[in-house]
Structure 1
Amino acid sequence: MTPEIAVDLFREALWLTALIVAILVVPSLLVGLLVAMFQAATQINEQTLSFLPRLLVILVTLIVAGPWLTRQLMEYSQTLIHNIPLLIG
């Protein structure tokens, strides 16, 4: 295996990891920002108020995007496993 192939495999794995994390974290960050703005506007300082909406958004995001994320991860894993003989030899 040449260094170029190793770097390419690492780049693909890092991109897939960043994609999975971004799809799960960005909606939670946006909801957290909206709840924080609501709390600042109404001067409600309840810590648990921001937790439940973020939890529900992550749950809905997993339900909606979960099959696609799993498919992407499985395709990468299958490609990697099928290319093992080519990478070694």
Structure 2
Amino acid sequence: MTGAEVLDIAREGVWVLVIMSLPMMVVGLLVGVVIALFQALTQIQEMTLVFVPKILAIFITMILSLPFLGATIAAYMDRIVDLIIIGG
């Protein structure tokens, strides 16, 4: 296996990581913006108000996207296993 092939595998691994974390990050961002807007409109400046809804939203998103996450990581691992078996 050459250095270029190793870099390709690492690059693909980083993209898999980004693709898998994207749904949770977007939901966390949207919930954070909505709560910040709510806090600005009501002038409630409680720092802990953001954490519980954001954690719940991210957890629900993770549960709903588990089939997608599993399929994505399984496809990546199938490619890695094939490369190990074939040897390059």
TM-score, normalisation: structure 2: 0.88
Count how many residue pairs are aligned between Structure 1 and Structure 2: 88
Show the counterpart of 1:75. Answer: 75
Percent pairwise identity: 35
TM-score by length of 1: 0.87
CA RMSD of aligned residues (A): 1.4
Give the gaps of 5 or more residues in structure 1. Answer: none
- The aligned residue for residue 13 of structure 1 is 13
CA distance in 1, matches of 2:58, 2:2: 40
1:10-64 deviation digits (Å, cap 9, x = unpaired): 1110100111222211110111011011101110011222112111211111111
Aligned partner of 1:57 in structure 2 is 57
Task: Tell me the equivalent position of 2:28.
Answer: 28
What is the one-letter code of the residue matched to 1:77?
M
User: What is the DSSP-based 3-state SS (H/G/I as helix, E as strand, rest coil) of the residue aligned with 1:83?
Assistant: helix
